[in-house]
Structure formats: C-alpha cells, structure tokens
C-alpha cells in the first residue's frame, strides 16, 4: 500500500470533527497520515485536535496554532502547501467517510497510473451521499442531487464554467501535487476547482461511481449541497430578465470569479498548455469583452457548458 497524506482544514468544528477523524482512523486502507490545520477556531476545536494528536502521534499531526482566520480557501491552500509530495487527499471536518473510501479511490488511482504512468498528473474523485446533521440520508447520490455528470463535467470547457469535483472526495498523485501548487488564493474559486483545472489540462481525471462519504449538511457548511431545481419556473427565474437586476448581478458576479480564475490559470500555466487548449482558455477569459452574439458563438464553439439542457438554456440567455 502506498502512503497517503489526508489534509483537513477546520474552523469551529467541535460538534463533528471527532466523528470525522474517527472515520478516517478506521479506514481499511492503513497507511494514512492526517495533517490538520485549524483556522483560528473560537470553540473547542483546538482542544479536540490536540487530544487526537497526543493519542495518535504517528497518524495525526496538527499544524501550529494561528490567530488569523484566512477563510476556507486560504485554509485549504495553506495545508496543501505544507503537505508532502506524495499521494494526497482532502477531508472536510464535518463529514463521515465510509470505511473503504480511501481504498476505493486509491485502487482507481493505481489503475490509472498503470495505464498512464506515475509522471502523469492524475486525480480521482467519487460520489457522496447527502445527509443531514444527524446523518439521515437526504439523497443517496450527490451527483443525482445536483445533476452532475462526473465524466462530461470534467471536460476543460465545462470546468471553466462550473466545478464538478468535490474536494473531500478526491485523491491526487505526486505529479499533480507538484503541478497544482501553489493555489492562487486571490484568484481561485476553491481548491477543488483549481486542482481539477490543472488535472484536466495536463493529466487524467477518473472517478469511482458510488458514494464514499456521508456529506453532512447542517446549515453552516462553507460550500453546501443544494438540490437542483429543473422546473420551468426555475428556468424562467434563472434566465435573462431585464427587470430582474438582482439575478443578473449575481450571475455576472459568479462569472467574474470564473474569468478571474481562468486568467490566473493562464498566467501560471499558459506556457505549458497545448496551443488548442491555450486558445480555448483565452477565449473564455475574453468572453465578457465580446459582443452579445460573439459570446454565444464562443460558448458553442469551445464547449463552455454546464451539465444539463436546462442549465445551458439559462447560461445562453444570461451570458
């Protein structure tokens, strides 16, 4: 078995973090080491982490305490930068891992390394089960819950518009760790968005087609799960409406984040990209500067799609 480092970023997680750590320590895949960074918690999280570090000194390492909250992305980026160059997974502090979670994604990663070589950046992710605060199932499949296609959703054109990889499910190999660091905190939307862009551009993304984590929804999640509403009324609400300025502002703000992330990606990795891929990402970065008809033509030409017809009707009416 290959050693794996699990990176956990936590803030005010005293209610759930112990059960999450227990689920990681109980994994059937044995050579796991947990590296945890606390984001200046104000509850009892730090004491809980110190207890686990003392009880499992070979398996649980807690980074030095800090007094500045740097946000969820900053916290994940900081623990990622501190990780060893090897096989890496991420963990949220409020979920529960199925006992074979690590084994399943590592088995798939090993298969892909045998096919493509260990020098190829490789990412593997999985489905999740959406549960409430008490672990009662809301939907057995997060991909079903949000209408996510784990294959098409990881095409580069789609990843530029919408994330399809949930960070707490992923594992990456050493080649991807080296290439994905550092995460530009000022431009990236979230660590999993950034890492999946790197993997799709330079390597391979695979998946395990079953839920391996109980994805807890408790009202205080940094990025929670919202059920996809594909009704006609929802489409009309989300489509362009000259009288709905608030909706238009939200959409444009979200797209501005994606443009900013893509621009940073080009600046950091543009020289390594193939010419077609560089042209595709450049077209996306410049999308907001093009005319009404040109924007829609570029979406169609370069595949800047979300998953599902309804989402894409909404996209084309508002882009």
Task: Please return the burial class of 147, using the count of CB atoms within 10 Å of its CB with bins 0-12, 13-18 and 19+.
Answer: middle
Could you list the pLDDT tens digit for every one of the 319 residues in the chain?
899 999 999 999 999 999 999 999 999 999 999 999 999 999 999 999 999 999 999 999 999 998 999 999 999 999 999 999 999 999 999 999 999 999 999 999 999 999 999 999 999 999 999 999 999 999 999 999 999 999 999 999 999 999 999 999 999 999 999 999 999 999 999 999 999 999 999 999 999 999 999 999 976 555 555 554 555 455 555 555 554 666 777 888 999 999 999 999 999 999 999 999 999 999 999 999 999 999 999 999 999 999 888 889 989 988 9
Mark 193-215 as b/e (b = at least 16 C-beta within 10 Å).
bbbbbbbbbbbbbbbbeebbbbb
CATH numbers and ranges of domains, the chain: 4-216 (3.90.550.10), 232-318 (no CATH)
Residue 103's nearest CA partner among 29, 5, 38 is 29
Bridge partners, residue 36, by sequence: 8, 62
Token duo for residue 47:
């004491």
- Rounded Cα gap, residues 6 and 213, in angstroms: 14
Q: How far is CA 71 from the centre of its chain?
A: 15
Q: Between the CA atoms of 174, 169, 256 and 239, what dihedral angle is there, to the nearest 10 degrees? A: 150
- CA geometry: angle 176, 105, 215, nearest 5 deg: 105
Q: Judge contact between 36 and 63, C-beta under 8 A.
A: yes
Residue 166's nearest CA partner among 76, 269, 103 is 76
- Does the model's pTM come out above 0.85? yes
- Rounded Cα gap, residues 32 and 24, in angstroms: 8
């Amino acid at each position: 078995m290959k050693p794996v480092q699990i990176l956990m970023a936590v803030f005010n997680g005293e209610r759930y973090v112990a059960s999450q750590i227990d689920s990681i320590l109980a994994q059937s895949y044995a050579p796991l080491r947990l590296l945890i960074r606390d984001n200046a918690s104000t509850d009892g999280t730090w004491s809980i982490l110190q207890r686990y570090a003392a009880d499992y000194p070979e398996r649980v390492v807690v980074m030095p305490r800090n007094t500045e909250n740097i946000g969820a992305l900053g916290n994940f980026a900081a623990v990622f930068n501190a990780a060893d160059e090897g096989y890496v997974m991420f963990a949220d502090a409020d979920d529960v891992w199925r006992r074979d979670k690590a084994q399943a994604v590592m088995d798939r990663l090993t298969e892909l390394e045998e096919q493509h070589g260990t020098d190829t950046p490789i990412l593997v992710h999985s489905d999740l089960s959406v549960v409430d605060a008490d672990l009662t199932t809301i939907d057995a499949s997060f991909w079903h819950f949000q209408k996510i296609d784990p294959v098409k959703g990881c095409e580069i054109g789609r990843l530029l518009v919408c994330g399809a990889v949930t960070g707490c499910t992923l594992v990456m190999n050493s080649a991807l760790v080296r290439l994905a660091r550092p995460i530009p905190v000022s431009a990236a939307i979230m660590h999993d968005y950034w890492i999946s862009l790197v993997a799709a551009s330079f390597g391979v993304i695979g998946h395990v087609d079953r839920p391996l984590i109980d994805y807890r929804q408790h009202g205080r999640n940094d990025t929670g799960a919202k059920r996809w509403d594909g009704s006609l009324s929802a489409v009309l609400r989300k489509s362009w409406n000259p009288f709905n300025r608030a909706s238009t502002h939200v959409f444009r703000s979200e797209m501005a984040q994606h443009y900013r992330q893509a621009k940073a990606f080009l600046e950091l990795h543009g020289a390594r990209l193939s010419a077609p891929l560089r042209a595709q990402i450049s077209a996306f970065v410049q999308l907001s500067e093009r005319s009404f008809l040109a924007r829609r033509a570029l979406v169609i030409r370069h595949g800047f799609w979300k998953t599902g017809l309804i989402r894409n009707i909404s996209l084309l009416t508002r882009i």
